[in-house]
Amino acid sequence: MDAPSFQRIVLIGMMGSGKSTVGKLLAARRGCRYLDNDDDVRALMAREPTDVMRFGGEGELHAAEAAAFLRALASTSPVVIAAAAWVVLDDDCAAALRREDLVVYLRARPETLKRRIGSGAGRRRDATDESWLEARFRERDDLYRRLATAVVDVDDRSPDLVVELTMAQTGLADVGRAP
């Protein structure tokens, strides 16, 4: 039986869950492009996402993240998309996710997120606050689960293992590498 073929694979999850790292590896394995929401925001706004938030506020950053995410979903070529953690709270973005065939939630406990975020360089100010991370996790975990086709727990797992688990759970074929 042939493995399913997907045009778009969307990775969702909290900041620090590994969407960027896993997304790049998964795209290489699938032989397709990788689109990162933060990179798309940089291109759209001609500023770093942290600068958009600092000078325009959270509302401007979220509007840019939503616009960049919806633009990425319009891709007609095979692509792996790493979504900004927040987009699941936006009605239009959540509706778009519900229409996608393959949405993978990279799930990490708040203590894992805190460890991975480290000093928070290049991230929002409250990203290093474990209580803030716990609150966001409680707020979003069920929503991420409902929007996902597959949930992959990433705690104490290497990015390569997370890619393997993602491919196994979703039936994705390895097309980027020679057999």
Query: Does residue 100 come out as left (phi exceeding 0), alpha (psi in the -120 to 50 range) or beta?
Result: beta
Beta-bridge partner residues of 105:
12, 151
Distance from C-alpha of 26 to C-alpha of 162, rounded to nearest angstrom:
9
**Domain definitions of the chain by residue range:** 8-169
CATH fold of the domain at 8-169: Rossmann fold (3.40.50)
What is the predicted pLDDT for the residue at 5? Answer: 60
End-to-end CA distance of the chain: 17
Write the pLDDT tens digit of every residue in 53-107: 888 888 888 999 999 999 999 988 999 999 998 899 999 999 999 999 899 999 9
Write the single-letter amino acid at 8.
Answer: R
Contact predicate 128/119, CB 8 Å: yes
**pLDDT grade, residue 148 (50/70/90)?**
very high
pTM (2 d.p.)? 0.88
